[in-house]
Amino acid sequence: MKAVVYQEPFSVEISEVADPRIEHPNDVLVRVTSTAICGSDLHMYEGRTAAEPGIVFGHENMGIIEDIGSGVTSLLRGDRVVMPFNVACGFCRNCMEGNTAFCLTVNPGFAGGAYGYVAMGPYTGGQAEYLRVPFADFNCLKLPANGEHETDFVLLADIFPTGYHGCELAQVSPGDSVAVYGAGPVGLMAAYSALLRGASRVFVVDRVPERLTKATEIGAIPVDFSRGDPVELIKDQTEGAGADKGVDAVGYQAQVADASREEPATVLNSLIESVRPTGRLGVPGLYVPSDPGGPTENARHGMLSVEIGRMFEKGQVMGTGQCNVKRYNRQLRDLIIAERAKPSFVVSHELSLWEAPGAYTKFDQRVEGYTKVVLHP
């Protein structure tokens, strides 16, 4: 089959790879109809991980079941499904507690597995024509067969639940004011989720005009950090106290205001200052224990200069970690079906799989309005 294959930093190609096959009675094979490029893919694309050439990218996947293993009981050929980016077994301790991002079965020696991602197990990505889905009864979420909401449903694989997870970690409640750092796809989904949860005001901090425009369109308050200190701008609009809750949707490649250099802890420290004493912080933005391109020796080993003393002084609580997609995707699917949510507002481009190499380049460079790309094999 054809697939998007990592070659070297800043290079992916459409290559022929082996067709997936049923390897276990609980597997299904899915013909991929939509798969998205994620900001997390860019970490590998830019050479900021230990990814080796040959990885098939793609952890945001949906499609039609083409074949099923003999042990699958709840799915049929022809079912339309979307899969969490987390590969999970459903029966280990963490899965049974709802922490499916930290499955103890699918990636021995590590808590968690994912499709098409370095160190996350042997699972080929879905930026391809077909995908093998293990533990399919647990991992596949069935969708209406009518073909509607394609670009909404594919976002259930990752960014919509991940944005919602950021709000859950921060315990966003009706009436809260919320500061969201980052207006990329996850940040926009966090802002959108905060509004769905009843937030009174949502501040979205970024410097890319197209992203801030999208934040404005959903009813958030844009904060351009290239034009002033976002902490002061947020405090000015919250009577000096700061927001009630905060979400870091940027992660370890955070930059200073003029984009002249990376400063990995800058968003965390700004978030601590932007949120009031005893407020809560949700951090779905990715931080890693090893970053080959880190700007300092400590950063290359995942050690950042976070102002923990200030956080302690303010009595804040922080929640972190990858999203347990299964915890949210069913409810978010039903909001889409009921037309109470339409997360596809974030999608800027729908392209064929064959256009992926150019899309990676443009998405990485934040040009031509590339905010979120969905590929259709």
d(CA 355, CA 377): 10
Confidence of residue 260 (pLDDT cuts 50, 70, 90): confident
Q: Half-sphere exposure of 360 toward its Cβ, with a 13 Å CA cutoff?
A: 25
Strands 28-37 and 60-68 come out as antiparallel
pLDDT by residue (tens digit) across 295-308?
999 999 999 999 99
Q: 291 pLDDT exceeds 90?
A: no
Question: Token pair of 245, please?
Answer: 């809750």
What's residue 80's pLDDT?
A: 98
pLDDT by residue (tens digit) across 268-282?
999 999 999 999 999
Spell out where 98-155 has E strands: 113-114, 130-133, 141-142
Strands 317-320 and 275-283 come out as parallel
Angle of CA points 195, 250, 170, to nearest 5°: 45
Domains of the chain: 2-158+325-375 (3.90.180.10), 159-320 (3.40.50.720)
In order of 106, 108, 242, 266, 318, the CA distances from 94 in angstroms are 12, 14, 35, 32, 20
What's residue 50's pLDDT?
A: 86
Percent of the chain scored above 70 by pLDDT? Answer: 100
At what angle are helices 159-169 and 329-337 packed, to 10 degrees?
120
pLDDT by residue (tens digit) across 164-194?
999 999 999 999 999 999 999 999 999 999 9
Over residues 207-221, mean pLDDT: 95
Say whether pTM exceeds 0.85: yes
Phi, psi of 306 (to 5 degrees): -85, 135
Nearest to 190 by CA among 158, 213, 235: 158
Round the average pLDDT of the chain to a whole number and report it: 96
